[in-house]
Amino acid sequence: MTTLAKIQDLSIALPKNADREFAVENLSVDIHKGEIVCVVGESGSGKSMTASALMGLLPDELTVTSGRIMLGDLNILQQSEQQMRRIRGPRIGMIFQEPMTALNPLRTAGDQIAEMFRAHTDLKPDQQKFRALDLLKEVGIPDPELAYRAYPHELSGGQRQRVMIAMALALEPEILIADEPTTALDVTVQAQILELIRTIQQRSGMGVLFITHDFSVVSEIADRVIVMQHGSIVESGNARDVLENPQHSYTKTLIAAVPGLIPPPPRDLSRQVVAEVSSLSKTYRTGGGVFGRARRVTHAVRDANFTLTEGATVGIVGESGSGKSTLARCIVRLQSSDAGQVMFGDVDFAALQGRSLRENRHLVQMIFQDPYGSLNPRRTVGDLVTQGLVARGMKYSDALAKGQELFALVGLDPTVMDRMPHQFSGGQRQRVGIARALALEPRLLIADEAVSALDVSVQAQVLDLLVDLRDRLSLSILFITHDLRVAAQVCDRIIIMQRGEIVEQGLTADVFANPSHPYTRSLLASVPGAA
Amino acid sequence: MNVLRYFARSPAAMFGLVLLGCIIGFALFADVLYPKNPLGLAGRPLQWPDLTSRFLLGTDASGRDIAAQLVHGARTTLIMAGVSTVIAIAIGIVIGAIAGFYGGWVDNLLMRITEAFQTLPNFILLLVLVVVVGSTMTSVTLAIGVVSWPPVARLTRAEFLSLRSREFVQACRAIGLRNRWIIFREILPNALPPIIVYGSVVMALAILLESSLAFLELSDPNVASWGNLIGHGRKVLRSEWYVAAIPGGAILLTILAVNLVGQGLNDALNPRLRNR
């Protein structure tokens, strides 16, 4: 087996005030021809730094203290910027996580692919176009001529990622680096992109360095696996061996933290109804006006009907654009709905206005997706949790006492209440968000992708906390997610949404065992590692 | 505290702060340094600056001590600039915050009003106001504040537009906080740093506007101000140029100091620039 690149004893030092000394420590990796190497680790494990070092794109603050990266007989670390330019593209290609920001929004997709040829070869313009169209065909874009002339915003996320792959493949590099290339994509699209990378890799015999945090993706695509923690390799080996028989405890935790796809048997649920959502609809109207284009009407949510009961978790699953977040925001009244009711007893929460809305806000509370964006960076976490109580007229000392109880309830030390949000980790911040939502003693708690931004091990802890709180406080939880694995583990009932409509709902175990709608079946088939 | 440390790290910002400190010091101790009325007759008119004589910086065409006017003028100028800046920022924040937070027709209405102000050159507007209301120091200060708010409003609005859709603001709405609370206690503190920095620009412009008014002899003639001094110097500009040049230099240094402090604050408050 030919070795294409060798990373030997690589150590990269972090700036002095960082939380550890090395981003990457004594790392050795070989990339062979015709092989997909997966580097797996949680955020901060140094996996992306490894890829950047291989591309010669390390940030200025970081310095390589030892080791070398051999590409053939060149040491990448000793190449000048000019020499690196002849390596990036022709010899090493790279695809990124976010295809929207990695493409220039002002130039067409075809033009950006052709640019690879303009920069590195002396092909004539018509040949450049010919080759670019060829590549677009190869990456399986439905209408290559149309895609060639399209601007990035006119393509879907999956198509943009295909364009990125076409660019990376343009000069037939020996090595392809893929840094979380499917993390931002929907499951069905993710499955297609993984398939594409696999096929192209087998056809061309490239070596692929695939970086991911997700063990279920690893099981789909990897030949060899390298597990990283805090900048060092803790385990490496053949993909099947590592997945089926992990040696290191950290690998075991990571694999165990991936939720299984088979839901537990249904529990006995209370019949006590908390809220009844009936024919809820939300339509967006854009465009129009005197000179504008034709009015565009989007049915974000169409005629949603379901019941939420005490002590139960209902999951809403769908891909981006399915309307699941809009539905949640209409229920919590961050948006107003166009039609339909959300009945809490005899109160129609969807129809309340002004003062009466404010006074009934406590009925339903929300946990947000982004643990960094959902806490005001200029207030202490104690303030954040207690301000809802203070605003409702509770005395500050009482609110503070209640805040301390809440902190203990979500597993945080009450003495940290006077700290600022930036002093906490992502998982802890999410706990603060949960404490804030619980402060008003809601009957319905909406979790909008509440664990999607967290590392798998932290994700498991927060999910456990939610389940525990649900049982202790007999909450009704509406759990919005794109992740079927998570949904399978925590939801009692599940609602599948597609293009604003509920296509299927029922007990989770039933839906997973006998999906009746074709869309549900395609979703289940696309989950990585399902086979 | 971190902000102060980052601020202190920049030599230019510290130089500006020291300079501004000196000017404020002169303003504070004006009565000690020159206890007599600075506008009173002090000696023979148009004496050239002479470090050995009684008049360090000479006398103007009316025989008044330039040094005394300069020191007392610092007080007037700083108070005038400070108060008008506070007025401009207060009006700007309220209008910008409401426009940015509510959006829709409220935003449309407020921004059209702001544009109406912006389409008029603010010095012309200032002239009209001063001519109508009269030229006492109070009215001049108010008028400068009233013509300087539109850029502050636009800046505040832009900050609010991007902050209002952030999740922490939605979280506040979900727990039922009033809009007033969300605007002033949740969003405003996050929007403040660029506004504070822009305050230094408003302050520098206020000093210039007042001097321009005084140069046209439309400022309050009964107060010692740098602008008035320049206005008096205009008539003797070709022979005794120092009468206008000395307060001109003082204005230059003050604006430089304010701008350096503003720039330093900008760098210190903007976390992305900190590690440069």
| Amino acid in the structure at residue A136 | L
Query: CB atoms < 10 A from the CB of A196, how many?
Result: 18
SS (H, E, C) A133-188: HHHHHHCCCCCHHHHHHCCHHHCCHHHHHHHHHHHHHCCCCCEEEEECCCCCCCHH
Radius of gyration of chain A, Cα coordinates, nearest whole angstrom: 25
Q: Do B176 and A361 touch (CB under 8 A)?
A: yes
Residue A347's pLDDT is 87
CATH architecture designation of domain A273-526 = 3-Layer(aba) Sandwich (3.40)
Contact residues on chain A for B173, CB-CB shorter than 8 A: 334
Beta carbons of B166 and A373 less than 8 Å apart: yes
List of chain A residues whose C-beta atoms are within 8 Å of the C-beta of residue B181? 391
pLDDT (0 to 100) of residue B276: 44
**What digits encode the pLDDT tens for the residues A163-211?**
988 888 888 888 999 988 887 788 888 888 888 888 888 888 899 999 9
B65-82 average pLDDT score: 88
Beta carbons of A361 and B167 less than 8 Å apart = no
Alpha-carbon Rg for chain B, nearest whole angstrom, is 22
| Nearest neighbour of B174 by CB, restricted to A61, A334, A375 | A334
How far off is chain B from A401, nearest CA to CA, in Å?
18
| Closest residue on chain B to A375 (Cα) | B168
Residue B274 lies in a domain: no
Write the pLDDT tens digit of every residue in A390-427.
888 889 889 999 999 899 888 888 888 888 888 888 88
Q: Write out pLDDT tens, residues B128-158.
A: 988 898 888 889 999 999 999 999 999 999 9
Domain boundaries, chain A: 103-172, 273-526
Return the structure tokens found at A81: 């910027």
pLDDT value for B19: 92
Residue B269, min C-alpha distance to chain A (Å): 13
In the predicted model, is pLDDT for residue B47 greater than 80?
A: no
Q: Are A42 and A48 in contact (CB under 8 A)?
A: no
Is residue B61 situated within a structural domain?
Answer: yes
The H or E element spanning position A10 is strand A3-13
Contact in structure between A273 and A347 (CB atoms under 8 Å):
no
State the residue for tokens 């694995």: A485
Residue B275 resides in a domain: no
Number of domains in chain B: 1
Structural domain contains residue B69 = yes
Token reading at B138: 């109070």
Chain B positions touching A392 (Cβ under 8 A) are 176
Question: Which among A234, A212, A237, A211 has a CA at the least distance from the CA of A223?
Answer: A237
Give the closest of B168, B176, B275 to A376, CB-based: B168
B70 to each of A239, A385, A461, B247, how far by Cα in Å? 81, 54, 68, 7
Could you report the per-residue pLDDT of A262-309, keeping only the tens digit for each?
A: 888 888 888 888 888 988 999 887 765 555 556 677 888 888 999 998
Q: Chain A closest CA to B105's CA: distance in Å? A: 16
Q: Tell me the torsion sign for CA atoms A501, A504, A509, A515.
A: negative
d(CA A109, CA A170): 13
Residue A377: list chain B partners with CB under 8 A: 168, 190
* Averaged pLDDT of chain A: 87
Structure tokens at A395: 């005395």
Residue A504 reports pLDDT greater than 80: yes
pLDDT band at B1 (very low <50, low <70, confident <90, very high): low
Interchain pair A369, B170: CB under 8 A = no
pLDDT band at residue B273 using 50, 70 and 90 as cut-offs: low
Domain contains B256:
yes
Domain assignment of residue B64, yes or no: yes
Q: Residues in chain B whose beta carbon is closer than 8 A to a beta carbon of chain A?
A: 166-168, 170-178, 181, 186, 189-190, 275
Is the predicted pLDDT of residue A354 greater than 70, yes or no? yes
In a domain, B51, yes or no: yes
Is B60 inside a domain boundary?
Answer: yes
Give the pLDDT mean for B223-246. 84
Give me the residue label for tokens 């109406």: B116
Portion of chain A with pLDDT greater than 90, in percent: 13
Alpha-carbon distance values, B217 to A472, B83, B141 (Å): 77, 21, 15
- Give me the CATH number covering residue B13: 1.10.3720.10
What is the model's pTM? Answer: 0.81
Q: How many CB pairs under 8 A join A and B?
A: 62
Average pLDDT of the residues of chain B: 86
CA distance linking residue B81 with residue B86, whole number of Å: 9
pLDDT for position B161: 92
**CB nearest A377 (choices: B171, B181, B190):** B190
What is the per-residue pLDDT across B190-211, written as a single tens digit (0 to 9) for each? 898 889 888 988 998 998 898 8
The answer to whether the CB atoms of A373 and B168 lie below 8 A apart is yes
Please state whether beta strands A175-179 and A207-212 pair in parallel, antiparallel, or not at all (unpaired): parallel
Give the domain range for residue B107. 2-269
Quote the CA–CA distance of A453 and A434 in Å, as a whole number.
15
pLDDT band for position B21 (cuts 50, 70, 90): very high
